[in-house]
Amino acid sequence: MAVKIVRQPKKIALIGAPSSAAAFLAGSEKAPAALRAAGLVEKLQNAGFEVIDHGDCAPRLFADDEEHRRARNLPAIVAGLADLKLRAEVAVKSGALVLVLGGDCAQVIGLLTGARRYYKSLNLLWLDRDADLNTPATTPSGRIDGMVVANIIGKGAPEMVRFWGDGAIVREPDVLLLGLQRIDPGEQEFLAGSPMRRMYLQDIQSKGAQKSAHEALRQVHADAREFVLHIDTDVLDAAELSSVNVPGAGGLRFDEARTILQAIVRHKNLLGLDVAQYNPDKDADGGGAKKLVDLLVEALSARLSAEEPAVAEAPTNAVAPVAESAAKTEQREAHAEVVSPEAIPAETILEAHSAETNSADARAESSEAAEDSPEISSSQSSS
């Protein structure tokens, strides 16, 4: 029988993913602690949310890894994702909105695979200036943060693709790149033949934030399908927030980002979001953390006006479990035991994971093939 997940608009399940292993600079592993220190939990509670803190995963640190220049730090990245996935499974099942504090962009894979435990398919809203569609064959840096979307759609380093183990975590036509501006040549070549949807930063700024947000939600079928939101904070203008790994001028203003995020979080089909790339090492006075916390709380508060909780039938085994090697199982269980004092005990997580393995298949979502062709922005030719 299907698991009944009751959506809880006034509950937030918080998970820290302190990793810079996939990033371009050290420091983003400090983001979860910095955002908590800036009052995130207290401000969410004051806004009216019940916050369930699942604690932090073990830190995974930036390293040059010169021995693997085409795909750096893969063992640390995969170990971090295994840790986060277990916590995300428990958090998603609770019906609360899952908020993952990264960390590097790769951590969203842990959130997505945790959600796929219960949902046959997901859509993805990728709010970022960068396409992150490189692979080890095309990467100029070898940093996995530049390859995350490729990994999500089933391409790239085998270690990352095998983490899910059953093809794409999200299908290409079900991904919307929102705020796109910086595209490497290999990524441009891929996008030219891909059904992946995209909305360019200059189009958002010309259309306006409100109209762009509603168009983005329409393209990911938010009224009918569950989806996850990824927020790379470098989509914000450097004049508004400079404490990110790869800042740039001309990004979204805070008021534009707030409008977009408020429109997105109102949807009951939003299962979770992750916040990536804020770097406390570039924020000496903590001012960036406070601004980012205020932005998140103001945006998430729109969720409080959502409709009454809805019951969703989520198939627990819509995707067949992936066989694991004994070594991988040992590694996953070992990392699951590293928790902060506030975290749910690892035993509880593993018991919940095991108890659901044999649940029956539920209905799959109907395919909307006619919707799968991308709507190409008018700015594509000039990007």
Q: Are 144 and 73 within 8 A, CB to CB?
A: yes
Q: What is the CATH number of the domain that holds 108?
A: 3.40.800.10
Q: Which residue positions in the chain have pLDDT lower than 50?
A: 1, 316-383
Number of domains the chain contains:
1
Give the position of tokens 């910086």.
182
CA atoms of 352 and 361, how far apart (whole Å): 18
Q: Determine the pLDDT at residue 288.
A: 98
Q: Determine the pLDDT at residue 313.
A: 58
- pLDDT tens readout for residues 215-269: 999 999 999 999 999 999 999 999 999 999 999 999 999 999 999 999 999 999 9
Classify 167 in phi/psi space as left (phi over 0), alpha (psi -120 to 50) or beta.
left
Q: Determine the pLDDT at residue 136.
A: 97
Give the position of tokens 């329409």.
218
Strand partners, 272: 98, 228
For 167, the domain range is 3-382
Those residues whose C-beta lies under 8 Å from the C-beta of residue 49, and which sit 6 or more positions away, are 10, 11, 12, 300, 303, 304
Q: Determine the pLDDT at residue 3.
A: 83
For the full predicted model, state whether its pTM sits above 0.85. Answer: no
CA atoms of 154 and 60, how far apart (whole Å): 23
Q: Determine the pLDDT at residue 336.
A: 33
CA atoms of 98 and 316, how far apart (whole Å): 18
